[in-house]
Structure 1
């Protein structure tokens, strides 16, 4: 029970919510049994007093606060929400109570909490039952609410596989289960047809194909293709696996024995008589994308037993194999690289070929017949084409002929050609012609130090010439077919040259003085091409 009192000073007449006090100077009172509906109810108090003929008035109001435990009414916190997936929504669950309650909604397991009063996207993960609890100092109240998220159908690989396998002769049905809220309706038809596939079917090979399954509910639809494969045991056909077959060695062909059946049967052909007994016959794979086995160099002719097997059964067939051989040349019968020596007699370019019947072999260079005997020269080096032919075909082989020759020192020169003073620099260059390439070596005058050589020994260089550098230098070119040398004499101004150890005949520098010598200075360099071309 609550009493509301409105009072003023002596002689004042008070009125409470329009109801005056019994007499002036007495308070006005209102007694009520407070309920939730009285919370925040306002009361108005008015007091009037006559003073010296003037009426004075004063007003004041107050508000009643009723404390009560939380309440979760369906109007403020519905027991069920249904939202479409995707658009943003604001979840509201408001509780009444004084003081104002706090509201918390979470799954009973505590795994997820709903964000009340916030705008956010709706996902199907939010769907489920939540326990909402409103609490204040007066107590708490609990209420279970259910959130339903509706979304368009989806056909995944679990409920509706992209590929289904049936066995010929059995009973099967095409069923697809779709995900969606509300639950979708699913129907399947064969591509290009209108009839819906329903119930049990007696499976035949003709049921194999592609079917279109569509799921529909109030939120949309989804469709997918389902491929049905019908499996069955193996069987042989003469066209795809002939009873007689001729194999030509080197043709690149393998015996093709294609067998009807799903899954694709495994076929193995093993020799059962004569030379082929126990021999495994290599077969061409039925699927072109599968790597074929290596082609053997030869196959034994004879009778082979072919066995086709898959998980639904097996079948056997006898096959007769004949073997023939086209021409074939290899490195042992016709070497691809041949080497001749310049000046040799009766060089022969010979090629033989394997095959049955024996192939005829002819070799030519640039379309002209090649003589069996010839005098070898460097011009004979080049590429030759040999052809082997028999009734089963022709094989060509390219032969490269290399001509080797003895070394010759074609050039031995000094730089600078005009001579060198003591302390000056000079270079000797030796160029040889040979095949295989010649190895270059040098001999220098005794006591000549600080001599530099290039990486291939073709250049000899001296920096800061001394008297000991004057003398005879020898360049030798050597390969597997011989050796050749040339010599050159270097003079350092005012110093007699020293001679290296002689190999063969040695030329001499001519007499006389250079123009500088005639003016009183000796010649700077005498490069005498004492050009000995003898071979050692």
Structure 2
């Protein structure tokens, strides 16, 4: 009996272990948040006989055609294995893993980094589980620069872990965002928690500043100091300070394209005395700084004075110059005395004296005293005095030549003398005086005696004067206006000319010589007049050209030219007859425009246009176009007492020629008319009379026409027109128009319109209120209107619910609506069948078994979505996946799963209003080695047989004695050994 009690449970445990040890049954790994529920699915051919064995607490269960599912609570950190059981056989297992996302991910690092130094980043992930699925990433600007993954053993609770990374800072890190990222890879699902981002500023200490400032600065003046800093990064964070001694200056910084920072500072040297000062420039970058200094000299310009013993002296006499410095601040200065541009004496004392002799003929001597700062002679001040030197007159050849050749009326006599004070000069010949104010004539030739006189004495010189004579007059004869194509003659006349053998005559046009003639001997002893002519044909190229005559007298190498006045030629071509453009009909009292066009006239700007209406001139505005056409525009006003015919005339004139054109226009008066109706509101089928009248202040021939609703009903040429008609059709109003027009031009008219209101009963028409109305949810509006006058009100309802064009349409509004239209004349009714259509909702995918299946097993994926019209289904499946579709295409059927069936299955539900989609991942796993499976099955069969034998032996033994297989708690041994298994 004892043996039976031991062996039987032992064989049962071996049987269960043998079955459970088979790892090749379909399995899946399920991840769930700790203390939350998850559904475990079993794919089975017999759902009624399938249950789930698990140590996790069960909450709900459900079944389908070939699947069963149980909702369990994941409240244990240990990996829990659950088994799908059918008829005592395991057909699938699930390993459930509890996880906890990090409560927080923190990052620690310095935000300001100096280029080239090492820094450490530390990422801490707080309260995460399990660690073997965790990877920590450190990112810079979104790019991963370091990562760490954690391995087992499996941790039973939430943990804090840290990962650090050391790097060397570079400029590329500047303004980058550094962050930490914790990733839990839960099977195919990736869950990420991010830290906050730390923006980083990378910097490089700049080179020492370079100062640029003037070395010498005058007391009381403004100065500029520049400070240049290179290699600082980032340059816009570099701050500059400039000081003179310890006084800060205002700095204006500028960053150049190459990253150099230049600071410009402005100061004022307001110091009590000269001396050395220090200019300092300090550059700051974050908490670091560098500094450069240089010395400048603050100076004071000397105050200098110059005095002469006398300011006027005679040639050969002595003069003393005294130079003094008088400064309010003592200092080291130098003095220099310069006479007529040459330094005569210098020294470093405060007074300098120099005695000099006026030794040369010059009217004055400039004497300068210069005081300068020792060490920088360019810093100086000067005082200048002018010494007047007196001496007697003297004639020189350059001021008064011995022989002087003059041209009659062209050149002037000139004879001057050197001396101070400036001498007066007089030249005479036998009592006749000559000077530079007298016009030279041919009878002034001869020998002249010139005398120069001033306070110091006088001088005398003989001057021989020769006068050459030129002809005083040359004339040109030519008509100024030339008609194109005609011949004209130019004549040049040279009057009172002597020595014909030296004369040449040139005829020029626009500065270009077109004809010339030179004369030869014999020598003529008296004055003559000579003439030269040239004949040419006028052309447009002659227009506005200047014609002139030129006489040239060649006296040896000397050439004298006399030119006539210029005659500006005007070449012209008579234009064609004018063309008038003006409206044929002009209303009395209105303004009108007349245009006159003239072509072929040359030059077009000399064409003058005149416009007249009858004999009254109009104001003309002429315009010359690019084609050299002249267009004149005139504005007039038809202010006439009555209608009639008028004549428009255009006259074109070019110099003394003219042409004229005339047209006739009609001055008209628009009719004054009125329209009256016998009544303005009637019912359908009633009569109304329209009366149309003309009342003009000027009698004339007019026509009348009555138009009803766009169609002419009656016309005539009388002054009153009547028409009676019946409102015979359903229209809310009829437009009745009376038109009066000028006979001969019906476009000249006036009209008056009255609107006749026609009242009638409401009526529903198919175009205003269709019997069948298809609406789209939230996109279209309900619309039903009734025809009638006054406009009817329309109400539509179904089962007490009203609908109109202001209501948002929803899918529950489909149905039969009764509509009623009402106005003052009655009412009408109509039934409308309303159908509301809508786009498909997001599909729901149902998998017939677990989405992870074993090769060779079947799998169905069913897609369902609601929509109107009913949606159609289409699928996107993995390449080379052989599947079958249900007749309506809503289900994908995999009869025998292969590896090609693994992948994403996307269902798209679509109708005319839109579409929605949903995805399902499918994984196909291998069934393992068939021989190994047969061995497992054989082992199981042997254990079963052995168990039967042991059970039979125990049963036989029971007949001969007693035994107890219960434990202390009343459970059987088998139950105790299998206490980790629970069935549904």
TM-score, normalised via structure 2 length: 0.18
Of Structure 1 and Structure 2, the greater strand share is in 2
TM-score by length of 1: 0.30
Q: Between Structure 1 and Structure 2, which shows a larger proportion of helix residues?
A: 2
